[in-house]
Amino acid sequence: MCTLLNIRDSKYCKYVENRISGNDLVSFVCENKEDMNSFKLTMDRQCIRVNLVNSVPAPPDRYQPDVPLENIRRLGFHTYMRVCRRPTCHLDIFVS
């Protein structure tokens, strides 16, 4: 699987890339728990070690920031990382 993040403004790329751990850059992501378990059994039989992640998509409105952007804009923050990428992002991290 390959993940592509389309960042609206390239000046925010370094912040988004910094939030993805090295382990997550080399992972298999499964949306179905049964697929993940089946893949894990195959990996165990073949003695293969790689990260497996079960990720069930959540609605974008579930990820609302605790602090409104208007309250922190005076501190130099321009946006939340969740709105930097298209169409949605599941992170609430400040970008300054």
Using one digit for the tens of pLDDT, what is the confidence trace for 24-40?
667 777 878 888 899 89
Q: Could you tell me which of 91, 96, 95 has the C-alpha nearest to residue 24?
A: 91
Residues in the chain: 96
d(CA 26, CA 29): 10
Per-residue pLDDT band at 10 (split at 50, 70, 90): confident
pTM above 0.75, yes or no: no
Report how many domains make up the chain: 1
Q: What is the domain extent for residue 38?
A: 6-95
Residue 15, classified by CB atoms within 10 Å of its CB into exposed (0-12), middle (13-18) or buried (19+), is middle
> Residue 5 has what pLDDT?
74
Give, as one character, the DSSP assignment of residue 74. Answer: G
> Residue 67 domain-assigned?
yes
* pLDDT reading at 92 higher than 70: no
> Residue 11 domain-assigned?
yes
> Residue 1 domain-assigned?
no
